[in-house]
Amino acid sequence: MPDVISGLATNNQARASRRAADAQVQSAAEASRIQREMFDRQVQLQEPFRQGGLAGQNRLMELLGIGGNASVGDYGRDARDFSMNDFEVDPGYGFRLAEGNKALERSAAARGMMLSGSMLKGAQRFGQDMASNEYQNAFNRFQTNRSSRLNPLMGLAGAGQTATNMLSGAAGQLGTQLGENAMGAGNARASGYIGSANAYTNAVNQMNNMAAQAFGMRGGG
């Protein structure tokens, strides 16, 4: 009877060890599932920003002539320096020059000096003065227009980089968590196996001790 009771206790202890290990393994698997689900949700939320960043970066590279679609008509337009051609086609300079010349012509016509040497010299001097005064303004407008094109694209690219960095950090964290979960599950299984083995080993030892005692008692009799 004691042997039967001891055997039942041993089986119960072994089963309890295995059930505890199985419960820990299931918990680790559920934790991993939830963590993956949360990571996938982060990817979903950040994807529009990442895509916007890629689009902004591609367009930025095209305008700077360092990548993207090289067949676009304005490829590399913002990589060059301000030129005299830019100055001459500047709308502010062109408007002021045209209006100034009109004023000179009206003044000369009113005085009966249209196309006179004095009028032509005045127009030439006016054009030179206008060019000297307006060059810096035209350059500033060139830079302002350039910045107005590039800055929004840089902002988009920056947002995409931020989203990518966040996802990289989340991916690294997920990898660490899944690794810890796998280690925990492995340790739980090992503990369950060891617990079962210890239960059976203890039972065998008890049976051996009982047998030795019984043999000793018979020998002594």
Residue range 47-59: average pLDDT?
94
CB 93 within 8 A of CB 138: yes
Record the pTM.
0.59
Query: Which residues, in sequence order, are CB contacts of 142 under 8 Å at separation 6+?
Result: 82, 86, 90
Close Cβ partners of 42 (under 8 Å, ≥ 6 residues apart): 166, 167, 170
| CA–CA dist 219, 8 (Å, integer) | 29
C-alpha torsion 212→214→217→221, nearest 10: -120
Structure tokens at 138: 């035209």
Q: What is the pLDDT of residue 53?
A: 94
As given in the structure block, the two tokens for residue 152 are: 């929004």
Write the DSSP symbol of residue 152.
Answer: H
DSSP label of 93: H
> Positive or negative CA dihedral for 177, 181, 182, 183?
positive
The candidate with the shortest Cα–Cα distance to 39, out of 157, 178, 134, 132, is 178
Q: What percent of the chain has pLDDT over 90?
A: 28
**Residue ranges per domain, the chain?**
2-220
Q: To the nearest whole number, what is the mean pLDDT of the chain?
A: 74
Per-residue confidence (pLDDT) for residue 114, from 0 to 100: 47
